[in-house]
Amino acid sequence: MSTPILDVTGLSMHFGGIRAVDQVDLDIKSGEIVALIGPNGAGKTTFFNCLTGIYNPTAGEIVLHGPGGKHHRLNGLKPNKVTEKGVARTFQNIRLFQNMTVLENVMIGRHCRTRSFIAGAIFRTRHNRREERQIIDHSYAILRKVGLEKSVNELAKNLSYGEQRRLEIGRALATEPFLLLLDEPAAGMNPQETRELDGLISRIRDDGLAILLIEHDMKLVMSISDRIFVMDYGKGIAQGSPAEVRANPAVVKAYLGEEA
Amino acid sequence: MYVVLGLGLNIVVGVAGLLDLGYVAFYAVGAYSYALLNLHFDMGFWAVLPIGALLAALFGIVLGFPVLRLRGDYLAIVTLGFGEIIRLVLENWNDFSQGPSGIANIPRPGFFGIELSLDQAILYTYYLMAALVVITIFVVNRLQDSRLGRAWIALREDEIACQAMGIDKTRTKLTAFALGATWAGMVGVIFAAKTTFINPASFTFLESAIILSIVVLGGMGSIFGVLLGALILILLPEYLRALSDYRMLAFGAILVTMMVFRPQGLIANVRRSYRFRKNPGSGTP
Ligand SMILES: Nc1ncnc2c1ncn2[C@@H]1O[C@H](COP(=O)(O)OP(=O)(O)OP(=O)(O)O)[C@@H](O)[C@H]1O
Ligand SMILES: [Mg+2]
């Protein structure tokens, strides 16, 4: 418990003159649920995009401490390589494979943990059939975990909003991450669904994953997080336990200032 | 023949969503491999078949490597250009390809060294073609229902999400491109053997367009769709002979209508469903 698994130091991402992320430090320890909050446009999603290789950060260091004491520098890695190292994510604007089934979406998540290629697909040796079977079983087990086992053969686009968010989480879990990044998983959910999500995230943590969560639903954030980081205008302005952050004048100002 | 070409291009366009307008170039590579290797080195049909396929795949990879970074329309334009370049090279590089006059007297495929009469040889080539159709359907079917095939479809749906799932985008696209090219190469070899004469005029953009129409008309990503599309597009011109001069016009009109009213094609690709017992007791990770 509580060995560090992610260390981000001085991370910056500039778009021309816009400093979307500006000298941010953040760390996550194993088994933690950490929330990243901040007003709209604070740079939270951009921060995720830097971690997952979608953007190559302007400056800073991202170091991942994998299981077995392996250290990986994530800067400049391609997104698929980051996923291979054990970091998975969901997207703020849901990016499911809409015309594939629910099960197939999760099966795609198994891609980076399986090997079959052209010859395997055509000749279907015993080994390949076994691998395919394992992909299906594993994916089905994940769908049960996220509560979508009734919709395995539905097309992803026919799911409700809340279900789509859960499917994205399931798809990310299929890549066998030890760090899971969730970008506003409760957005568009009703209170009932949000409560279920709270339970799901806690269960995922209990399975031994660390979670970094971007979320605007403060009730969820406050109840579930071990620690909270706050960003505003690209900068990290506060961090601490939920109680500390709530009492922090800089945070109150950032949020009230936004509404004023 | 168009069936196999359609199915091959279907991997690239229908399944992986890469709009390739120069598909006929790979077909030409296959046909000329056989014609030239036979002319200069006296190589037989069966020896060249894999070589032609391999050469086409190689061309696919060499072209695909820089080009697959482009998206959608840009990819279409570059592949279109590539198709034209291959044709122009064949037309103008006389020493290499005998230019517009083409290459004649290409032998038909051999049958275990037995001499076949003309009729027999034509029939034999026809059976070969039919066998290739069956093999192609089998292979494409298996590919679609595999880890690789799923990755292609997913890439067509959302590239960024794919990468976040650990899929190597360049490698996966290149595989689709090269496989599609392989098939075109094989058909090219058979085409050369069947007609015994090839020249660059057989490999114009119009051919690429027809093959693409088959895929689009029949249904992107659907094998049955492609079969139906090929049937319609090959037979229709025969029935429309009366309209002769307006044939291409009718062609275009049909395609545009399709795009507007049924963009998924005549037969839409249906996703496979899986059945599960309530409790897959063992094997739960
Ligand atoms: N590719 C880009 N090019 C230019 N500017 C960008 C780019 N991506 C993000 N930005 C800018 O960076 C800033 C931060 O955006 P970001 O999406 O990270 O905010 P956020 O904290 O996720 O907001 P929200 O809560 O609304 O999701 C915004 O001003 C945005 O316009
Ligand atoms: Mg965001």
Judge whether A197 lies within some domain.
yes
Taking residues A51-77, what's their average pLDDT? 87
| B90, pLDDT greater than 80 | no
Return the residue matching tokens 């545009």: B256
Q: Which atom of ligand 1 is nearest to the CA of A92?
A: 27
Q: How many domains does chain B have?
A: 1
Instruction: Write phi, then psi, for A208 (nearest 5 degrees).
Output: 100, 10
Return d(Cα B282, Cα A135) in angstroms, integer: 14
Q: Determine the residue type at B172.
A: T
What's the pLDDT score for residue B270?
63
Q: What is the least distance, in Å, from the CA of B16 to any CA of chain A?
A: 13
A151 and A202, same domain (yes or no): no
CB-count exposure of residue B246 (10 Å: 0-12, 13-18, 19+): exposed
Domain for residue A247, yes or no? yes
In a domain, B74, yes or no: yes
* Residue whose structure tokens are 């996703």: B271
Residue A216 has pLDDT above 50, yes or no: yes
Q: Give B110's DSSP letter.
A: P
- Whole domain around residue B173: which residue ranges? 7-201
d(CA B59, CA B106): 23
pLDDT at B280 exceeding the cut of 50: no
pLDDT reported for residue B224: 73
A9 and A79 fall within a common domain = yes
Length of chain B measured in residues = 285
A25 and A144 housed in the same domain = no
- DSSP-derived letter for residue B268 is P
The closest of A167, A135, A174 to A152, measured between CA atoms, is: A167
Residue type, B65: F
Cβ–Cβ under 8 Å, residues A35 and A241: no
Question: Is residue A164 in some structural domain?
Answer: no
How far, in whole angstroms, is CA A200 from its chain's centroid? 14
Q: Within 13 Å, how many C-alpha atoms sit on residue A237's CB side?
A: 21
Contact at 8 Å (CB) between A92 and B264?
no
Q: What is the pLDDT of residue B72?
A: 66
In total, chain A counts a number of residues equal to: 260
Nearest neighbour of A99 by CB, restricted to B143, B157, B169: B157
A99 contacts in B (CB within 8 Å)? 153, 157, 271
Tally of domains in chain A: 2
Matching residue, tokens 């689009």 = B216
Residue A171 lies in a domain: no
Q: What is the DSSP string of A160-215?
A: -HHHHHHHHHHHHHTT--SEEEEESTTTT--HHHHHHHHHHHHHHHHTT-EEEEE-
Least confident of A5-9, A200-204, B272-276: B272-276
> If DSSP codes are grouped into helix, strand and coil, which group holds residue B114?
strand
| Candidates B143, B165, B283; nearest CB to A109 | B165
Cβ neighbours for B185, distance < 8 A, ≥ 6 positions apart: B26, B27, B29, B30, B33, B52, B53, B54, B55, B56, B57
Does residue A211 share a domain with residue A146?
no
Could you tell me the two tokens for B29? 């590579």
Residue A241 lies in a domain: yes
**What is the average pLDDT across B31-35?**
77
- pLDDT, averaged across chain B: 74
CATH code of the domain in which A203 resides: 3.40.50.300
> Which residue reads 């990243």 in tokens?
A36
Q: Which of B146, B166, B274 sits opposite A112 (nearest CB)?
A: B166
Looking at the domain assignment, is residue B70 inside a domain? yes
Count of A–B CB contacts within 8 Å? 128
Range of the domain at A28: 4-86+177-259
Q: Is residue A91 part of a domain?
A: no
Percent of chain A with pLDDT over 70: 96
Q: Is the residue at B51 inside a domain?
A: yes
Cβ neighbourhood burial of A115 (10 Å; 0-12, 13-18, 19+): exposed
The answer, yes or no, to whether any atom of ligand 1 lies below 6 A from the CB of A235, is no
A10, A81: one domain:
yes
Non-local CB neighbours of A94 within 8 Å, separated by 6+ positions: A161, A164, A165, A168
The answer on pLDDT for B45 being more than 80 is no
Lowest mean pLDDT among A56-65, A238-247, B78-87, B181-190: B78-87
The single-letter code of the amino acid at B285 is: P
DSSP strands (E only) in chain A = 4-15, 18-29, 33-37, 59-65, 71-73, 87-89, 179-183, 210-214, 227-232, 235-240
Q: What percent of chain A has pLDDT over 90?
A: 38
Do A74 and A112 lie in a common domain? no
Is B218 in contact with B267 (CB distance < 8 Å)?
yes
Categorise residue A176: left if φ over 0, alpha if ψ from -120 to 50, beta otherwise: left
When mean pLDDT is compared over A211-225, B113-127, B162-176, the highest value belongs to A211-225
**What's the maximum distance between 2 C-alpha atoms anywhere in chain A?**
65
The verdict on the CB of residue A40 being under 6 Å from ligand 1 is: yes
- To 10 degrees, what angle do helices A126-145 and A102-109 make? 110
Q: What is the pTM of this model?
A: 0.84
Question: Based on the domain organization, do A17 and A141 belong to the same domain?
Answer: no
The answer to whether B263 contacts chain A (CB < 8 Å) is no
Q: Residue B201: how many CA atoms within 13 Å on its side-chain side?
A: 5
What average pLDDT does this structure show over A183-196?
A: 90
B3-12 pLDDT, tens digit each:
677 776 776 6
Tell me the C-alpha distance between B6 and B228, whole Å.
Answer: 10
Res. B285 pLDDT band, cuts 50 70 90? very low
Do A182 and A57 have their domain in common? yes
User: Beta strand A179-183 with A210-214: parallel, antiparallel or unpaired?
Assistant: parallel
Residue B237 lies in a domain: no
Domain presence at residue A126: yes
| Claim to verify: residue A72 and residue A195 sit in the same structural domain | yes
* B67 in any annotated domain: yes
Greatest mean pLDDT among A61-65, A253-257, B14-18, B255-259 lies in A61-65
A48 CA closest ligand 1 atom index? 18
CB contact under 8 A, B142 and A124: yes
pLDDT of B184 > 70? The answer is yes
Residues A67 and A126 reside in one and the same domain: no
Q: Nearest Cα to A146, choosing from A165, A170, A162? A: A170
The CA angle B184-B190-B193, to the nearest 5 degrees, is: 145
A238 shares a domain with A187: yes
Same domain, A140 and A77: no
Chain A partners within 8 Å of B273 (Cβ): 101, 152-153
